[in-house]
Amino acid sequence: MYRSLLILFLFIFCNINAQVNTQFLPNSSWTKVKSKMLNGSRDLSQGPYEYLVWKFNDKKICEYLDPWITEKKKCIDFDVDKSLINRSDKLTYQIEKLTFDSLVVIQKTQGETLPDKIKKIWFVKTSVLMKDFTNKATGDSIVITSPKVVPTLTKDIVSEMIETYLQKKYIHDFIVDGEIRIFPKKESIEVVTDPKEQNKKNQISIDLFRTTLEKNYKMWNLTGFENFEKIIIPYSFKSKIDNGVGKIVFYNRVSNKEKENEGPIINIKNRLVSIENYKKGLEAISNQKFDKAIEFFIKAHEYDNTNTDSLYNAQSILLAQNNVSDACIVLKRLKDLEQTEGTKLYKEKCSEK
């Protein structure tokens, strides 16, 4: 059966009958700690350390996606109906669990019924997460931040730097790693960059990044970190400006220990090309050109390895053709991506291959 042409089963949510006590939501802040798909598959839509904070205030929920640009929050009206957080006609979150310090929701998108397409998200109250993190560092004068517990910027320095780069007509392309070292008691900042040699134009731009941060101590929100002598924020800074078009990416770098648990590597070369090949695969099925369909589906996945539907379709055709060997190669990809149904099929069809 083909995943996009025939739904093998319809997954129906059973609404929680008992009304959730929502007294913990008003004027609260929650930080995402993990997410999975409802059937246990890895969530391939986000990186494992992606930042997400929800803040509830009166009848608004504000979403923060970047600790470096907190002023670019997205706030919308919402209401709570029994166990549902309604954000729009097409998007709601069913509250599975809500306590003083934990929130678990199931994302319900209109028209989405398959359990490997429905997301389950775990949040911890931001203040509790911060307290737990800093308590583990009790007795230490130096703390190294994590991607989920980190001082935030109250000023959009990224846009400011892009504007400066464009005004001065800087042309450069570089990636630099380093550390931002904040000294709360001295109210000072030191920005350390890796010693990799850069060309002159790149070095000028890197120096601007460094001095912009070092002269703006007051723009950091250090709540929870005030008692440390030194706060170390590992970072990566990518910048490319060419022909008047600029892009800057500035994010919290993870430690080597955290990298060990990152899971499969997400590789999106070109999402539009992936979708185009996927559609061609469906068209080939309609025309009974199954070998061609497999070719298109495999190509779709190569351009975007989060496009797991293309793999499910390819393995379905291969198994229907009794080509178990090639089907197992495809199923191995799903297993490596930690997709529950694909892993189950791999164990059933390929364990002795």
Single out the residue in 73, 102, 130 at which a domain terminates: 130
Domain assignment present for residue 150? The answer is yes
Check whether 254 has a pLDDT greater than 90. no
Residues 193 and 234 in one domain: yes
Higher per-residue confidence, 49 vs 112: 112
Bridge partner residues of 304 (DSSP): 268
Higher per-residue confidence, 351 vs 37: 37
Domain of residue 317, CATH code: 1.25.40.10
Backbone angles phi, psi at 231, to 5 degrees: -110, 125
Region 272-278: mean pLDDT is 96
Distance between CA atoms of residues 27 and 29, nearest Å: 7
Residues 179 and 255 in one domain: yes
Residue 245: its pLDDT value, please?
A: 65
Domain assignment present for residue 192? The answer is yes
Domain assignment present for residue 96? The answer is yes
Residues 122 and 219 in one domain: no
Bridge partner residues of 344 (DSSP): none
Residue 41: its pLDDT value, please?
A: 95
Domain assignment present for residue 43? The answer is yes
Query: Can you read off the two tokens belonging to residue 176?
Result: 């630099």
Whether pTM > 0.85 for this model: the answer is no
The b/e string for 274-286 (b: 16+ C-beta within 10 A; e otherwise) is: beebbebbbebbe
Domain assignment of residue 69, given as a range: 22-130
SS (H, E, C) 37-76: ECCCCECCCCCCCCCCEEEEECCEEEEECCCCCHHHCEEE
Residues 176 and 284 in one domain: no
Residues 154 and 86 in one domain: no
Residue 137: its pLDDT value, please?
A: 78
Domain assignment present for residue 161? The answer is yes
Domain assignment present for residue 312? The answer is yes
Single out the residue in 109, 130, 151 at which a domain terminates: 130
Distance between CA atoms of residues 51 and 240, nearest Å: 23
Domain assignment present for residue 8? The answer is no
Distance between CA atoms of residues 79 and 176, nearest Å: 43
Residues 175 and 196 in one domain: yes
Domain assignment present for residue 17? The answer is no
Residues 125 and 29 in one domain: yes
The number of distinct structural domains making up the chain is: 3
User: Average pLDDT, whole number, for the chain?
Assistant: 84
Contacts of residue 124, defined as CB under 8 A and 6 or more positions apart, other chains included, come to: 30, 31, 33, 101, 102, 103
Residues 122 and 148 in one domain: no
Distance between CA atoms of residues 55 and 156, nearest Å: 19
Residue 325 confidence class, pLDDT cut points 50, 70, 90: very high
Residues 211 and 252 in one domain: yes
Residues 146 and 45 in one domain: no
Residues 147 and 63 in one domain: no
Residues 248 and 276 in one domain: no
Q: Which percentage of the chain shows pLDDT scores above 90?
A: 48
pLDDT tens profile 160-192: 887 887 787 777 788 888 999 999 999 999 999
Distance between CA atoms of residues 43 and 17, nearest Å: 27
Domain of residue 101, CATH code: 2.40.128.540
Query: Cβ(327)–Cβ(349) under 8 Å?
Result: yes
Of 5-14, 57-66, 100-109, 199-208, minimum mean pLDDT range = 5-14
pLDDT tens profile 3-40: 544 333 333 344 444 456 778 888 999 999 999 999 99
Residue 158: its pLDDT value, please?
A: 76
Among residues 215, 258, 234, 55, the alpha carbon closest in space to that of 142 is found at: 234
